[in-house]
Chain A
Amino acid sequence: QSALTQPASVSGSPGQSITISCTGSSSDFRNYGLVSWYQQHPGEAPRLIILENTNRPSGISDRFSASTSDNTASLTISGLQAEDEADYYCCLYGNTQTSDVIFGGGTTLAVL
């Protein structure tokens, strides 16, 4: 298994929508099956914003949505706000044989 590929950076203006991609091998996506997403502000711990591919934990804004297809997971943030400026990480998990996970390299979102 190899690390998941994310764009190093994306940017958008307040009110706009952006999408962050997370790409890996088809076999990894098939073997792991589940994707989670994390938001991390500087100096803070990551925060879970998506689990089980598309589900938001309680308290996470519905401006965050996600999808998965073949070997790519995507996180979409709509109605960008200044507070969305952060690093975002995808995580592939759910492999019942290995019980490990695969992280993406992270994407820095700039709200211009």
Chain B
Amino acid sequence: QVQLQESGPGLVKPSQTLSLTCTVSGDSVTSGNYPWSWLRQTAGKGLEWIGSVQAVGRTNYNPSLKSRVTILLDTAKNQFSLRVTSVTAADTAVYFCARDSTSLTGEWGYWGQGTPVTVS
């Protein structure tokens, strides 16, 4: 069974970089062509897709965040990571990592439990 677990600081100062890691078990980040995604959820804006990475090396990012976001695979640790630079209070959210059920981004069948991040 595929399981995902987010980890990282829960508090980040404005203008600094938010860094989170998603550890995957029960699957390999290099198997298949599944996109491995980061999403976030705020009370005001609901769910927001941040971006995804695939084992073939392809990354896709939300155009509204693209200039500040990097998603990387760490195949040795079976993890993928998220970096968001120059954070502001608007980046305060619960951050989820997820895996799609197919090769299409938008069918997230596997989710981490989410980790809250506050920018303050």
Contacts and interface: CB of A to CB of B under 8 A. Distances in A.
B101 A45 contact: no
Given A34-B104, A93-B104, A93-B105, A100 B49 contact: yes
B87 to A, nearest CB: 21
Contact of A48 (B48, B60, B63, B101): B101
Given A36-B107, A51-B101, A93-B105, A45 B46 contact: no
Contacts of A57: 101, 109
B47 interface: yes
Interface of A: 34, 36, 38, 44-48, 51-52, 57, 89, 91-94, 98-101, 103-106
B32 to A, nearest CB: 16
Contacts of A52: 107
B106 A94 contact: yes
Interface string B81-107: 000000000000000101001101111
Contacts of B62: 100
Contacts of A98: 63
Contact of A103 (B47, B60, B61, B107): B47
B46 A89 contact: yes
Contacts of B106: 34, 36, 51, 91-94, 101
Given A38-B108, A51-B109, 18 more contacts: A36-B107, A45-B96, A45-B111, A48-B101, A48-B108, A51-B102, A57-B101, A89-B47, A93-B107, A98-B63, A99-B60, A99-B105, A100-B63, A100-B105, A101-B106, A104-B46, A105-B46, A106-B46
B105 A101 contact: yes
9 contacts: A46-B111, A48-B101, A48-B107, A89-B47, A91-B47, A93-B104, A100-B49, A100-B63, A100-B105
Contacts of B111: 45-47
A48 B96 contact: no
Nearest to B59: A99
B104 A48 contact: no
Contacts of B47: 38, 46, 89, 91, 103, 106
